[in-house]
Structure formats: C-alpha cells, structure tokens
Chain A
Amino acid sequence: MKQHRQWPRFAIVLAVLALIATGCRDSGTTADVEDVDTGAAPAETTTPADTATDTPTETAADTATPTDTGSPTEGTTPAGDIAFDTGVTEEACPDAVNPDNGCIYLGTLSDLTVGPFAALAVPITDAQKAFWNRVNEDGGIGGFDVNVTEFVRDNQYNPEIHNQEYQAIKNDVLALAQTLGSPTTAAIIEDLNAEGIVAVPASWTSEWAFQDVILESGVNYCFESMNSIDWAVENLEGIETVMAVHYPGDYGGDAAAGARIAAEANGLEFTDVETAPGPDNQSGAISAVASQQPDLVILTTNPTDAGAVVGNTAAQGYQGTFIGTGPSWNKGLLTSPAAEAVQALYLASGPWTWTQESPGRDAMEEALGDVDPNDGYTSGWVWSYPLKAALEQAAENGDLTREGLLAAVSELDDVDYEGMLPDEAGNFVGDPNETAYRGSIVSEPNPEAIVGLDVLQDFFVGPTAEGYDFTQSCYTTTAG
C-alpha cells in the first residue's frame, strides 16, 4: 500500500528542487537597485555572473561605468555606429523579421489574467505587438528590430507583483512599452526616475503629464469630463444639474474632479456619487440617479456596470443623458438587456476611437487583421507612437542607451500620430500647462459602426479645459 504512493512523493521533492534550481538560474546580470533618496551615482556590485541564463538572447549587460569582470564592452553596430547597452543587443530578435538587424527589447507590465482591467489589457497588448511588428516590417529603427513579446509580464493589477515583475525584467529591457494601472506604476515610478527608464502608461490620469519618464498620449480623464460637460451645455437642452457616477481611485476621481470644475464653470449644480465595481453594487448609484433625476450624468465605470446603471435607471423612468468615459464603453452593450436604454440615453466620450478615419487607423486595421473590434486596440496602437518617435530620435542622435532615449524624449516636440491625434498633441517638451493635449471626442452608439460608436463631435477643446490652469494633477487638487 505504501509502495504506490512513493512516486508522488518523489514528484513533490523533484518539483521543489526544480523550483529552487529555476529560482537560482534567473540571474546573470550585474544589477543594482537604486534609490531616489541617496541621489548617488549607481553603485557597482561585483557579483560574479551566475550559471546559464534562460533567455537565449540575453547577453551580460553592463552599465555605463567600466566593470572589472569580463563582461563585454559597450556595443556598436558595424554600420550605424550607435551606442547601446541595456536592453539592446547586436544579435537578432528571436523570430526576427529582419535577421540582420540587432534587437531592442521593450518590456510590458500588464493586467492579463485576474485584475479588473484584463478585458482591455489584452487588446492593448495585442495592438502593441502588431504596431511594433509593422515597425519591424518597415525595416526597424536604426538597424534594430523592436521586440515587445519576450518580456511580457502579468501584474494582476497588484502593485507588489508589478514591482517584482519590473525588477525581474528591468535589466533586460531598454524601456517599457506598457505599464498598466496607476497604483501599479506608482510603485515603480521612483525606480523609473532613478534609472531613467522611459515608460508608456496604459491609462490617462492627469498625473502623467508631470512625470518626465512617462510618455502619455491622449487627453486625460479630467479634461475629457470638462469637455463632455461643455459640449452637453452647448448642444443639449436644459442642462442644469450634473451628477458624476464614478469608481473610487484615480480613474474615477480624476474624471469626477474634471466634472466638478466644469460644472462650477458653467454654473450647474453638481453631485458626486461614488460607486463600487460590480453590477450588484450599483443599487446606490441607480437609486441616486432615479431619485435625484440629474439632467446629465458623467459615468466613469466599466461596461458591465455602465449597462447596469443605464438600464436600471431607464427602467425606473429616467430620461436624462449619460456621457460615459472611454473605458466604460463596449460594443456588447448594444446586445445586452440595456441596449434600448443605451441607444436612447447614452453618449460616449473618449480620447479617440476606431471609427475615426486616418492613415494610422487604416494601418492598424491592416496590421491587426481579423479581431473583434474594441477601442483597447486603438489605445494600444496610438500609445506606441511617441515611443517610436523617441527611439527614432535616439537612433538619429546615435545613442540608444537609456540616457540617450531620455534625452531624445526631451526633444520630442512633434510626434507623428499618422492622423490618429491632431498635430498639436505630439509635443512633450515644455510646461505641461502649455503642451498637455486637451481635446476629446463625443460619440453616439450605433450597432452598425465598427466598435458600435459614431463620432458626433471630433476633437475639440471646450472653454473650461481651454482656460484651466494645469499645474498639478486634478485628482489631488479636489481630493475627496
């Protein structure tokens, strides 16, 4: 009886040993963790390189200061004479499009499985993969292909895990092609600043405009709500009361802050209703809307909850207008039980949408092929343009090191979005009050349209957003 239970025990012991072995295998770079409060130059550690690494193309990266171990010297490409170190290699990427090019590695830290934004994060990541694949097919940048698939990690929308995964891939990548979530990015922003690693966020919080290493694109939630209210006041009749129904945290809080500012500027009565995620937790919001009957509701939630609020309030006789921010929309709402209410009462605001025609949009459609259309794809695609421009600028300057990339970012005053954003949106140089892009769009639901939305009002900046003095992020100024 005891005999046949031996093998599972061996299996367990082997599993534990394998675990320990893989834990030790994951090394091979001389790295150090820096801290902002020392302000000192990076300290050099002389840890001897460990056993074989598991990523086939990983070379022993070295920092800019000379080391005394036998690590390779700074690399140069034979033809272009571009300096590079961390995250860039001379060998081609695995499954490279251009086998003669070197490889630039970009990291992705996204919520791919269990967190609340997985539904959007997967299309975003996919779109970025298609974007950089297109860049590679056009010949790469400065003699290098760009790889965003090797270092994709799941952060489960947890700042601790985000930090751990960031530490794990930090020394193998030049920059981050995506870091999803505000609390998660806040967990690594200190290190990003200290190491000078450029990162593209997958969110539109107003805080990012004030961080040099963050390459945000598109209007932030704060201005988006301001524009929505301004548009409604101008184009809809009888708007006198506004209610903001939003999630807690920076996503909802930023939008609500903008809504409050615009309501005050327009002389409207404003109510703030916070609601928790989950369609079963919307009864408070539904009751507030149905009983107070505001003329306009700015909705900042996710699609399921938006459907619950719109559908249930309409069922109770509410006839006002909902304007929902970008992530609150999903085409599935038009086949849900709330479809009728959504078509009658709902409008979507946003930084952009698939329906807008532009060369960039056509390129995106071609690159993505056959997918279920979703503005997550649009966002992932558009967010990648500044990083591409920065990489191209750095390659032109002959410096694809981290310092070189950061220097290139400080020269970015004219990013080409291929028509997906207006020209003035591409300026990253100078005071955020001058350069932050403030334009958003308003769309209405249409079951025939590609993501279910028809653009009602193309990029515009309302008077409130135009006149707003943008010196700090909206969410903390009116912190509640």
Chain B
Amino acid sequence: MTALLTDRGGRGSRPRGRPELYTSYSSDLALLNTPAKRAGVLAIVAAAFALPFAVSDQVLVLLGTGLAMSVGAIGLNIVTGYAGQVSLGHAFFVGLGAYTAAVLSGDPDGRLVGFGLPMVVWLPAAGLVAGAAGLLVAPLATRLRGLYLAIVTLGLVFLGEHVFREWDSITGGPGVGRDAVQATLFGNSLTAGGAVLSGAQKVYLFALVVLIAAAVPARNLARSGVGRAFAAVRDRDIAAEVIGVSLTKAKLLAFTISSFYAGICGALLYTITRTVEPNSFNLLLSVRFIAMVLIGGAATISGSIMGAMFVTLLPRFTQQVPRFVPFIGQGVTGGGLLTNVELEAMLYGLLIIAFLIFEPRGLFGVWLRVRNYWKGWPFSY
C-alpha cells in the first residue's frame, strides 16, 4: 500500500531535476511519484488537520458538511465521471446509508426501530446496504443509456422518497424524522465537546479522516485496470465490449462502488446534522451532487472534493454579496429590485451557470491551467 503512495525503490538513484525519470516499477506505479506531488499533498493534508485550531466552530460545521459531501461526490464521479453512467439517483443511496446508520445505531427502546450497534458496525454497514441497492439498480444501466438512464434514476429518487415517507417505523415519517446517528469511537463521543477538542472540531476531523480513507482507494481505483475499463465504457462502450471489456461487469461495479460511497456519505452527513427527515433526499439533493461533480471536474477525485467544498460554501458567499449591492432591499419584503434572499437564490443559479460556461472542465480544469502555466514558466504562453 505504501509502495503505491510513495516511492521507495530507486529513490536515491534518480538524478535530480529529472522527476519523471522512473527507474523502478514501484516508483512508476506510485500515486505520489514526484517530490513536488509529495510535498504538495503533505502540505494540504497538514493544513487540513491544522484548520480546526484556526477557525471558529460555526465554519467548521460547514466545512465538515462539505467534507462529508465530498465523499458522496467522489462516489458520483466514479459512476458518472469515470464510467459515464449518468445517475440522478444519488440522493436515494445517500438516504439509504443515512437510514441504515440511524437504524443500526438507534436506541433499541426508542420510539422507532433501533439496534444500538457501535460505529465500527454501522459505518461500513451503511455503505454495504447502499452498495447492495446499487447492485440491484445496476442492471437498469446495462439496458438503458444516456438520458433514459438519467430519468430512470430520477424515478428511483421519487420512489425512494415515497418509501422513506411511508415506512415510518424506520424513518419517523415526514415532518417528524428521527434523531440521527450518535457516533462514538472506543467510548468517546465524536460529536460532543470534550476536554481537548470541541464538538465541531471532532466532527470535522472525523469527516476528514473518513474522506482521506475514501479518497485514496478511489484514486487508486481510477488508475487501475478497473478504472481503465470504466473509461473505456464511458468513451466507446461498444468498442470496449469488442476488445473484451465486460460491459455488464464494469457497469455493475461502477454502480455498486458509487452507491457504497453514497451510503458512507449519508451516514457521515447525518452525524453532523443530528436529525434525518424523509423529505431531505429529493431531486434537489441529487442535482446538488451533479453540480458538485460538474463544477469540480468530471473524472477527477480532487475535482470532486473541490466541487463539493465550493457548492457547500457557496451559500455563505452569496449571503455576503447583498451588503455590497445597493439596489437590494433589506429584510424580506423591502423595496428594491429584489430582496436579499431572492438575490442569494438567483446568485446560486447564476454562479453555477457562469462557472460552467467559462470553465466546463470545472475547478480541476482551473487547477490544470494554473499548474501548466507555472510548469512552463517563464516560457508559458
């Protein structure tokens, strides 16, 4: 595993200034194969771990939510970005994961079904149950393509909403909901304030650890044979079948893995929010995930993370704008062309449009541009 992350073999024997000259298999295969990459990733991870001590709790809750959504966005990127199977049904799998976690960790004597199991059980179980559902849904993908598949997965979201609303012994029913997961690790709560860290800090660090544990395998998956099979299915699926890539297997795998990630995201998300309500897993949530994938950059893992953070932090950003714009009425029905809440809603839509028009490759495309500019500097053009 470490061989995939770092470059153990041949390190001393590579001439300096020639980072892309690989002299051993392990250095060729390594995930972080140049010193620049290693340093960069180390810096980012260190900064992420140090952030809770520099930032206030209310921002940490928001950041923690963003990290949880990143896990889901990675899942969606696997099925939509890498494998090309457009799925609008991500919200359904997120909901499945959230409810599995809530049921498994819930109070056995409470009003609703609960089993009181610890986190080591419910966190993977949330992913596994959602993954199993993805496995069941995948045969649809083998039969349908493109927009047909998208609308069918949309139907899945509506059906899922219906089931969640009606099955109120598990979900508590619409408008009521149930209390979400209480996360504890070795007896220490992961969400309550303790002696050293506050609740929000713990939540953020927990989400960060889960994200790293989820992102590294996903990145490796994308670089492996399975990932190449996904790309083949996305680009030319008939040609892929002709050369021997099993379409059915690839699509099944893509949906299962993606749903697994969605399940983990659901469990994590609702540890942070504290209540789960059946109406939350709707079309809007699915669209948010798609927006994250597209804004971040399809078929990239770091893009998924960037996109998720962007979309989660965007409302906070749009809230600041009305202060600076003169023709916005204060309060909710103040005069002016629009009220500030309406402006926020409009800005949300407009920013997404503008982003996609100017940079269809997403934030990852922006990063690529910046990186290539500096790679060729001072001869960039």
Contact = CB atoms under 8 A, between A and B. Distances in A.
A38 B277 contact: no
A37 B189 contact: yes
Nearest to B330: A149
Given A35-B192, A149-B330, 7 more contacts: A31-B58, A32-B193, A122-B333, A125-B331, A168-B58, A168-B316, A191-B274
Interface string B135-177: 0000000000000000000000000000001001000011111
Interface stretch (A154-162, A383-391, A405-413, A460-468): A154-162
Interface of A: 5, 8-9, 11-13, 15-16, 18-20, 22-24, 26-35, 37-38, 40, 42-43, 45, 47-48, 50, 54, 110, 112-114, 122, 125-126, 129, 149, 152, 154, 158-161, 163-164, 167-168, 170-171, 182-183, 186-188, 190-191, 248-251, 253, 475-476, 479
A8 B310 CA distance: 18
Nearest to A191: B274
B97 to A, nearest CB: 15
Interface string B262-280: 0000000100011101011
B359 A9 contact: yes
A43 B193 contact: yes
Interface centre among B191, B274, B333 (most CB of A within 10 A): B274
A163 B199 CA distance: 15
A33 B200 contact: yes
A214 to B, nearest CB: 15
A42 B200 CA distance: 13
B113 interface: no
B273 A27 contact: no
Interface centre among B189, B314, B331, B369 (most CB of A within 10 A): B331
A211 to B, nearest CB: 14
B177 A159 contact: yes
A18 B317 contact: yes
A37 B182 contact: yes
Interface string B37-77: 00000000000000001111111011101000000000000
Main secondary structure of the interface of A (DSSP, over half): helix
A16 B310 contact: yes
B374 interface: no
B241 interface: no
B56 A190 contact: no
B344 interface: yes
B59 A250 contact: no
B288 to A, nearest CB: 11
A160 B168 contact: no
A31 B165 CA distance: 36
A38 B192 contact: yes
B56 A26 contact: yes
Contacts of B275: 159, 163, 183, 186-187
Interface string B316-360: 110010010000001111000001011011000001000100110
B192 A152 contact: no
A183 B177 contact: yes
A352 B56 CA distance: 43
29 contacts: A5-B358, A11-B358, A16-B363, A23-B316, A26-B59, A29-B56, A31-B198, A35-B192, A35-B199, A38-B189, A40-B192, A43-B198, A45-B201, A47-B53, A47-B57, A48-B54, A113-B342, A152-B331, A152-B341, A168-B58, A168-B62, A183-B177, A183-B277, A187-B274, A187-B275, A187-B277, A248-B175, A249-B173, A250-B175
B274 A163 contact: yes
Contact of B314 (A19, A149, A163): A19
A112 B54 contact: no
Nearest to B53: A47
Given A160-B280, A249-B173, A479-B173, A43 B195 contact: yes
Contacts of A170: 58
B344 A154 contact: yes
B176 A182 contact: yes
B342 A159 contact: no
Nearest to A475: B176
Contact of B194 (A9, A43, A168): A43
Contacts of A16: 310, 363, 366
Given A160-B269, A170-B58, A33 B316 contact: no
Contacts of A112: 332, 339, 341
B194 A164 contact: no
Contacts of A24: 55, 59
A125 B339 CA distance: 13
Contacts of B355: 12
A54 B366 contact: no
Nearest to B306: A16
Interface string B217-248: 00000000000000000000000000000000
Contacts of A37: 182, 189, 192
A113 B319 CA distance: 14
A54 B320 CA distance: 9
B313 interface: yes
Contacts of A190: 179, 274
A186 B363 contact: no
Contact of A31 (B56, B62, B195, B359): B56
Nearest to B202: A33
A468 to B, nearest CB: 21
A8 B199 CA distance: 40
B249 interface: no
B111 interface: yes
A279 to B, nearest CB: 18
Contacts of A31: 56-58, 198
B179 to A, nearest CB: 8
Nearest to B111: A476
B54 A47 contact: yes
B317 A19 contact: yes
B340 to A, nearest CB: 9
Given A35-B193, A38-B192, A183-B279, A126 B177 contact: no
Contacts of A125: 331-332
Contacts of B316: 22-23, 26, 168
Contacts of B179: 190
A149 to B, nearest CB: 5
B274 A34 contact: no
B198 A23 contact: no
B297 to A, nearest CB: 13
Contacts of B330: 149
Contacts of B165: 248
A326 to B, nearest CB: 17
A191 B200 CA distance: 13
A5 B358 CA distance: 8
Nearest to B279: A183
Nearest to B57: A31
Contacts of A38: 189, 192-194
B168 A114 contact: no
Interface centre among B58, B189, B269 (most CB of A within 10 A): B58
A163 B54 CA distance: 22
Interface centre among A8, A18, A33, A152 (most CB of B within 10 A): A33
Contacts of A122: 332-333
Nearest to B62: A164
Contacts of A479: 168, 173
4 closest pairs, A vs B, by CB?
A: A249-B175, A35-B192, A27-B56, A33-B199
